[in-house]
Amino acid sequence: MSTITVGAPVPDQELLVTGGRSHRLSDFHGKILVLYFYPKASTPGCTQEGRDFSSAINRFRRQSAVVLGASRDSLKAQENFKTKQGFPFDLVADPEETLCNLFAVIKLKNMYGRQVRGIERSTFLIDTNGVLQAEWRGVKVKGHVEQVLEAVKRLKKAA
């Protein structure tokens, strides 16, 4: 069960991001934060989703929005993924699943006929005050970035 709900403040959390830097969720207060979770670095759907966010990054930045991708991968795997794909945003390494558990994105999934624990592709929109404004769970990659961008624009306009 998610420990956060739409309309409620997101608890502060430490993040290990590419570049070996440490951030806190509260470091992004004052900006709109788009936090998207993907199952595994360097896999086809996750690569496409990252490319889609990359293609739209300037449109997000014009709305004062920051994009962060997150998965359970190690920092080294995230570094390799970001470098290989040339992503213009940071990736969060969450091998201990702390951030994943905060947002309740770990689900049982069927893979090759057996159940495994994995990340349900999800995106969260956090406003400039650190309040969760929208969430998308069970995301299908195609067209998703446009949906998120429209929600960011609405949020920015309402501010």
Give the model confidence (pLDDT) of 21-53 as tens digits: 999 999 999 999 999 999 999 999 999 999 999
Q: If you average pLDDT over residues 8-14, what whole number do you get?
A: 95
pLDDT at 60: 98
Position 94 pLDDT exceeds 90: yes
Helix (H) or strand (E) holding 38: none
pLDDT at 15: 96
Q: If you average pLDDT over residues 60-66, what whole number do you get?
A: 96
Q: How many domains does the chain have?
A: 1
Position 2 pLDDT exceeds 70: no
Is residue 22 within 8 Å of 15, Cβ to Cβ? yes
Q: How far is 121 from 31, CA to CA, in rounded Å?
A: 23
Position 109 pLDDT exceeds 80: no
Answer yes or no: is 146 within a domain. yes
List the Cα angle 55/57/58 in 5-degree steps. Answer: 105
- The boundaries of the domain holding residue 127 are 14-158
Here the CATH number for the domain that contains residue 56 is 3.40.30.10
Is residue 97 within 8 Å of 106, Cβ to Cβ? yes
Answer yes or no: is 89 within a domain. yes
Helix (H) or strand (E) holding 148: helix 144-158
- pLDDT-derived band of residue 1, with 50, 70 and 90 as boundaries? very low
List the Cα angle 27/158/87 in 5-degree steps. Answer: 45
Answer yes or no: is 69 within a domain. yes
pLDDT at 19: 94
Phi–psi pair at 19, nearest 5 degrees:
95, 0
CB burial of residue 9 (10 Å; 0-12, 13-18, 19+): middle
Closest to 116 in 3D by CA, of 107, 124, 125, 103: 107
Q: How far is 157 from 112, CA to CA, in rounded Å?
A: 45
Q: If you average pLDDT over residues 44-73, what whole number do you get?
A: 96
Answer yes or no: is 8 within a domain. no
**Structure confidence by residue, pLDDT tens digits, 144-153:** 999 999 999 9
Q: Can 46 be counted among the known catalytic residues?
A: yes
Answer yes or no: is 131 within a domain. yes
Share of the chain above pLDDT 70, in %: 97
| Tally: H helices and E strands in the chain | 5, 9
Q: Which of these is catalytic: 10, 32, 46, 70?
A: 46
End-to-end CA distance of the chain: 30
Answer yes or no: is 7 within a domain. no
Answer yes or no: is 9 within a domain. no
